[in-house]
Amino acid sequence: MRFPAHLLGLAAASLLALSGCGKEAPPPPQAAAPAEAPAKPAVTVRIGHVAPLTGPQAHLGKDNENGARLAIEEANAKKLEIGGALVTFELLGEDDQADPKQGTTVAQKLIDDKANGVIGHLNSGTTIPASKLYAEAGIPQVSPSATNPKYTQQGFKTAFRVMANDEQQGKVLGGYATHQLGAKNIAIVDDRTAYGQGVADEFEKAAVAGGARIVAREFTTDKATDFAAILTRIKSKKPDLIMYGGMDAQAGPMAQQLKKLGIRTKMIFADGGCTTEFHKLAGDASEGHYCSLPGVPLEKMPGGQAFKEKYAKRFNVDIQLYAPYSYDAANVMIDAMQRAGSVEPAKYLEALPKTAFDGVTARITFDEKGDVKDGAITLYEAKDGKWQALETIGGAPAPGGATGGTPAAEAGAAPTPAAAAAEEKK
């Protein structure tokens, strides 16, 4: 191996510390220095995190990593004991550059490094091929942000996500556009990424079902800065609402260019545009646009506001987008370990499907596929440079631990509409 000296130290330390743990356990219990209590066994649990940390989505990738890091640092501060051993969590942050090939290479590296679990990846394109490797290695994977329905439809026992998938979100968004906003003529733009196209297509289905007419279907890319041409075309079709499937980096400038072209029609986004960054990028052109975000507004969740402040204090930046979800994902994993009384993947994997965890985004329970159950989705409107929550659709209405029983049971009885739609699609 590469750092013999370092390893020797660890080996010596683990010899001192090892008493209860079996040596051949899959996550080798690498001991931390037994400073204060040599009698109590100490275990290091490695949690992998994968997201693009370089390239155009690097800011989102780092945000995800920060969320998971915060969860792990908090867990370490609590000095958790699992299965009678003092547990120290270690985050293995990896960069997959949003490239499927690197996604699998990194997944293999985490498997080699005996990661006990993986938070990630960020993109569906890397999550799907990597999920197969984790499944074969029996390592649980919780993605905070991969929204392609295919991810959990592959039948892997190890694949989970804490975010509503494209189908769930597109459906809610489409219904909201036609019913609550009363849009009759809708223009749709997407960025031709798996995420943007996925959510835009689902939106289109739901909007058409709601009685709207799609007057224009335009496209851009996730690297574009100039939207004047497609917006001009949209202008000539006179829609009463424009849906954009894509990220804030395009949604922001798009709002500005919309204003410059004298188009007063408002836009509606899914989670990709639902960020504070959108307001920064759109400036005063952000007013009046809509967006949706899975889960319940952070402010309304117990611990949500605290999370926001802790995050800002720890990393000196604002939350970009998915940090609360990766924070929840890491906590869900730690929670399952605690309930199972074991950090071994095979053992706590059994506890993961039974998760009922009050996260900062929602109360998280999983359906049989590993998708978040009764995914609440909240709609927001941009007002005074901020996203103001309008209403929360579906899901457990009252956050706060004690409740959440009935809606969950409801959603459990009837397989989510998304699942039905998926079967119909295939």
174 versus 198: smaller Cβ distance to another protein: 198
70 versus 115: smaller Cβ distance to another protein: 115
Task: Please work out the total of residues on this chain that contact another protein, with binding judged by CB under 8 A.
Answer: 72
Residues 184-213, interacting with another protein (CB under 8 A): 192-194, 196-198
Q: Taking CB under 8 A as the rule, does residue 129 contact another protein?
A: yes
Find the binder of another protein among 46, 49, 62, 161 (CB under 8 A): 62
4 versus 313: smaller Cβ distance to another protein: 4
User: 320 is written with which tokens?
Assistant: 């970009």
Burial readout 283-292 (b: 16 or more C-beta within 10 A, e: otherwise): eebbbebbbb
Give dist(CA 258, CA 278) in Å, integer: 14
For residue 424, what are the contacts with CB-CB under 8 A and spacing of at least 6?
none
For residue 54, what are the contacts with CB-CB under 8 A and spacing of at least 6?
95, 97
Find the binder of another protein among 23, 79, 223, 313 (CB under 8 A): 223
Residues 377-406, interacting with another protein (CB under 8 A): none
Residues 270-309, interacting with another protein (CB under 8 A): 277, 280-284
Taking a C-beta distance cutoff of 8 angstroms, is the pair 102, 72 a contact?
no
Least CB distance to another protein at residue 52 (A): 9
37 versus 317: smaller Cβ distance to another protein: 317
Taking a C-beta distance cutoff of 8 angstroms, is the pair 331, 357 a contact?
yes
Sign of CA dihedral 386, 391, 392, 396: positive
125 versus 375: smaller Cβ distance to another protein: 125
Backbone angles phi and psi of 244, in degrees to 5: -120, 120
For residue 197, what are the contacts with CB-CB under 8 A and spacing of at least 6?
190, 191, 245
Helix extents (H) in 210-264: 228-237, 248-260
Least CB distance to another protein at residue 11 (A): 17
Least CB distance to another protein at residue 124 (A): 8
Find the binder of another protein among 143, 158, 178, 257 (CB under 8 A): 257
Least CB distance to another protein at residue 206 (A): 17
79 versus 223: smaller Cβ distance to another protein: 223
